Structure 1
Amino acid sequence: MDAVWIAVALLVAGGLGSPVTMLVLRLARSVDTAERRRAEPPEPADQPQFELPEPPAEPPRGGVDALPPGVLRGGLVIGVLERLAVTVAVLAGQPVAIAYVVAVKALGRYAELKESPAASERFIIGTLASLLWASGVAAVIKVYVL
């Protein structure tokens, strides 16, 4: 029976963690946008207002290297693997292993994060949301079920 609950924990942490993390990232972006709007001085009403054309709806051409700055490649797969590793670490009673997961992830992304402050911020927010989700799911299963 324990194996079933471990499988449930892995499925919930790995599978439902992506929508939760994306929601947290979306909330962070909306809060950041609202703060920027408050910080910007209002434009004078007597100045003419110009409409800017909408950017094209087509995705960038040229493959993965043509992604806009701040978008990290492979984030979804890395996030799922990260949540699975954290869940296993908590269920196995080895929370120190979480430090290894974070260290490997940060070292692997260091070159990309160094180039883009926007990517660094998304990386931190996404990683924390992902880690909290996985450890929370594992903790609930471990305390209440196992």
Structure 2
Amino acid sequence: MTVTALILLGVAALAPLVPVPRRFPWWIVPALTALALGGAALAAAATTPVTGFALGATVVLAVLAASTGGAPMVHVAFRLARRRDASGPNPNAGPLRGGRTIGVLERAAVSATILAGWPEGLAVVLAVKGLARYPELREPHASEQFIIGTFTSVLWAAAAAGVGHALVT
């Protein structure tokens, strides 16, 4: 089951990086990524704690799955928010620039702090992000975009780190 969990973590990490032809629906990558992480969680729950190479692979794959897999989930959250508020502007074209890069770094930091056993690091990561974005949050719809993106990113990163933690303990 350890190998299955690691393979599924790898799928969750790599699926968002594979270009998908336009003939496929937009939700294929988020669905595949979420199913892979869910399968990894189930497999991780049925294993004994990993050691050696598997331990290193678990940490690397969990952080990668958190970093890359969160982007499709944020895209889904923005689409759901846009559907509920059809009168508002496109959240992807909002006032906050550099969100994808910041999101990858944020998810990597969140998952690393959880896997390192330092949950207080979550507060540090979120405080730094909030302080850095503070001047931009006065723009129309910026705070909504910030909250949706941040919450989705942090939840995804915590889930990926949780799978890694389940394999380690």
TM beyond 0.5: yes
Written as runs of structure 1 = structure 2, the 5 A alignment for 1:1-146 is 1-33=54-86, 70-114=94-138, 116-143=139-166, 145-146=167-168
* In structure 1, C-alpha distance between the alignment counterparts of 2:73 and 2:126, rounded to whole Å: 19
State the identity %.
Answer: 47
Q: Which runs of 5+ in 1 are unaligned?
A: 37-67
* In structure 2, C-alpha distance between the alignment counterparts of 1:4 and 1:130, rounded to whole Å: 22
- 1:20 to partner: Cα distance: 0.9
Moved over 6 A (4+): none
Partner residue in 2 for 1:55: none
Bigger relative contact order, structure 1 or 2, given CA contacts below 8 A and separation 6+?
1
Is the contact made by 1:69 and 1:119 (CA closer than 8 Å) also made in structure 2?
no
* In structure 1, C-alpha distance between the alignment counterparts of 2:71 and 2:164, rounded to whole Å: 19
- 1:89 to partner: Cα distance: 0.5
User: What count of residue pairs does the alignment treat as equivalent?
Assistant: 112
* In structure 1, C-alpha distance between the alignment counterparts of 2:127 and 2:116, rounded to whole Å: 19
Q: Based on CA coordinates, which of the two structures has the bigger radius of gyration?
A: 1
- 1:135 to partner: Cα distance: 0.5
TM superposition score normalised by structure 1: 0.72
Partner residue in 1 for 2:24: none
